[in-house]
Structure 1
Amino acid sequence: MDFSCIHLDGKRIPSGTIVTLEKNKIRPAQKSEFMLGVISETAGTVLGSAEVYWKDRYLKNEFGDLIYEDVLDEKTGEYVKMPVENSEWKSKKEYIPRDQRHEWNIIGLVGQVYVRIDETVEVGNSIEANDGMATKSKDSSQRWRVMEITKPYSKKDGYGVAICFIR
């Protein structure tokens, strides 16, 4: 399960970066911070992606469900339930899906994800974040575990890549 979220400063975060929440936005996670997820290019399902229309095009109740109204269908003469449009919606403005905007990032939350690693990480290690990059954790109860290293750490690149399991 994955979702999309805006970076704290509105910029794209590199793939494989471990992120945390700061209010309702994300940023690279630091040591001892909650690891929300990792910026992912392999998401299976993206929640909150707003692919088709502006997410606030329709009015919603306090639990996020659409508010409906009965509208007369002029062709059939019958009333049909339709979502109530938000008066702030601009129907003439072209909509650009979130995955095409630099300020939105897809975050992997569970399962197998690709993570940037430092030189301390080995297969089987538990990991924690260090400026958005995975480093070996001394806490073996950590919920993120290295399954495979797909690109060994490179001093030149400043990172390696591992497939980690998040649960």
Structure 2
Amino acid sequence: MAPQGHGFAATFSPKNYRHYFTGNRKLYERLAELRPNFPKSDFACITVNFGRRTRTYIRTDAKNTAHGMCAVTALGSFNPKLGGHLVLWDLKVLMEYPPGCTILLPSALLRHSNTGAQAHETRYSVTQYTAGGIWRWLDGGGCSIELSELNGSQKWLTPVSCFCSAFPI
């Protein structure tokens, strides 16, 4: 799963990928006791949903990195034509989301959810992401946001430049 998210990020969101790569390196230098969740993982955090038929409600992930992506992998044994669909509400998109599929999603910005699997099926998910608080801490030099603001940190401008479009201008 981690290498898939890693490859997707490097290909489809290269500015974010570089930002994450540099940020992770800084994080592991500052806090040497931390280790990546997986080899080649671009994300500092992971959530594993082991509910028998995991489904999610409409939401944005407000504590995730606003400029970043998260990698969500659907797992289990379910028919993606009948359930487990990914819904991107702001884009008005409903898509089949088969087991083993990984998607990069700006989950802090787009309202999203997924539909449940059939009663006799199983559906799990694994989400890899980096919480916004980690970036604030790193950008603030390892200080709280209050101390960072006192020091006049303007590093919030770097993530803004990480946004990309499907068709670069």
Q: Which structure is larger by alpha-carbon Rg, 1 or 2?
A: 1
Higher helix share: 2
TM-score class, shorter-chain normalisation, is: under 0.3
Higher strand share: 1
Using the size of structure 1 for normalisation, the TM-score is: 0.21
Using the size of structure 2 for normalisation, the TM-score is: 0.21
